Structure 1
Amino acid sequence: MTVQILRKKFTVGQYHQMIESGILTDRDHVELIQGEIIEMSPVGRRHAACVDRLNELLVLKLFRKALIRVQSPILLSDNSEPQPDISILQRREDFYNAGHPTPADIFVLVEVSDSTIDFDRNVKVPIYAQEQIPEIWLVDLNDTQIERYCQPMNKTYQQLQIFNLGERLNFQAFPEISIEVNQVFG
């Protein structure tokens, strides 16, 4: 006998109602992925240091060209509101006070990964491709490399480049600006 397990999927609206009513609080480190509320892994010191280092680098390199957000929600669809480690966004006068950024606002998303590398690579990256996010950087703390995904089509990226220590990578949206991989890992 096979038992079918049914899951209750949530919309972004229902997710926000849970936050507003106090069911989910600031202490709940969660994000909404494809209708499911996913508990995020605790942030370790290597992860936090890498995100802080990237934030400083990107703010200095992209000052007045883009808005850099750290671990803040983006609205991908009616059932997904992830919180990437870094979002590089089009500048807006209201700093997205009127609503979270959507795919049309996004230049690049960055996920810094150690214990979550498989989830980020196999779940989040395909969702970002499906939603036509033009560029994703997956910073792999375990292998000390950056995976750069470009050219989304359906649920996959047509281009994957891997950058190692000693190499430089730049942005599709800002080809004149490059980052040394060594700077990301410190």
Structure 2
Amino acid sequence: MIRHRLSLEEFQALLEKAPEGLRLELLEGEVYEMAPIGSEHASLVTYLAKQLERLYGDRALVYVQNPLRLSPHSLPQPDLALLKPREDFYRVKLPEPEDALLVVEVSFSTQEVDLKKLALYAQSGILEVWLVEEGGNLEAYREPRGSHYRHRLLLEPGEEIAPLLLSHPPLLWNPPRGTPPA
């Protein structure tokens, strides 16, 4: 069986015909349907977006659940990215790996796909990726080599981390927890 890898142009044409609200991403020419966003996932993305904006918003653009062009066959939509600032806010051209200061994926029900994306981020030269795991731990991957990262840091709630390219001030990793109000 011969498989056809979609190009970005073919994928864009597919998106134009897709039902409203269907979330898709292109990874190495293959189309993946993205999982629905649950309340815990949304809460963590919102928490991180607020913290990253507060700490680094004067030096980076906080980019939430938008496409990042990795190659002619890969257009993932990371949960968050910190991008180099640009006057047009990437209106003219989607951000590419050299624009990304940090990529963040909240990895609950999507761990298998997120690990595939992690390899693609490394191959693309993205210097740092954070994976947020169910349970509140954060894995930071740094210094890409081929399809892997040389360093992996595991943070538990209460520990500090700062993106390599925006080293100060550090983020206190303290994700939202608890039971919702009755």
User: Which structure 1 segments of 5+ residues have no match?
Assistant: none
- Identity of matched residues, %: 33
4+ residue runs of structure 1 moved beyond 3 angstroms?
Answer: none
1:16 equivalent in structure 2: 12
2:98 equivalent in structure 1: 104
User: Which structure 2 segments of 5+ residues have no match?
Assistant: 178-182
2:143 equivalent in structure 1: 151
Distance 1:106 1:59 in 2: 15
Aligned-partner SS, 2:164: coil
Aligned pair partner of 1:134 in 123, 127, 130: 127
The farther-off stretch of 46-55 and 26-35 is 26-35
Distance 1:64 1:25 in 2: 37
Aligned pair partner of 2:81 in 76, 83, 87: 87
Q: What TM-score does the superposition give when structure 2 sets the normalisation length?
A: 0.93
Aligned pair partner of 1:31 in 10, 25, 28: 25
Residue 156 of structure 1 aligns with an amino acid whose one-letter code is: H
1:55 equivalent in structure 2: 49
* Contact 1:171–1:177 (8 Å) recurs in 2: no
1:72 equivalent in structure 2: 66
2:155 equivalent in structure 1: 163
Residue 150 of structure 1 aligns with an amino acid whose one-letter code is: R
Q: What TM-score does the superposition give when structure 1 sets the normalisation length?
A: 0.91
Shift of 1:37: 0.8
Residue 134 of structure 1 aligns with an amino acid whose one-letter code is: L
Distance 2:169 2:8 in 1: 35
Aligned-partner SS, 1:80: coil
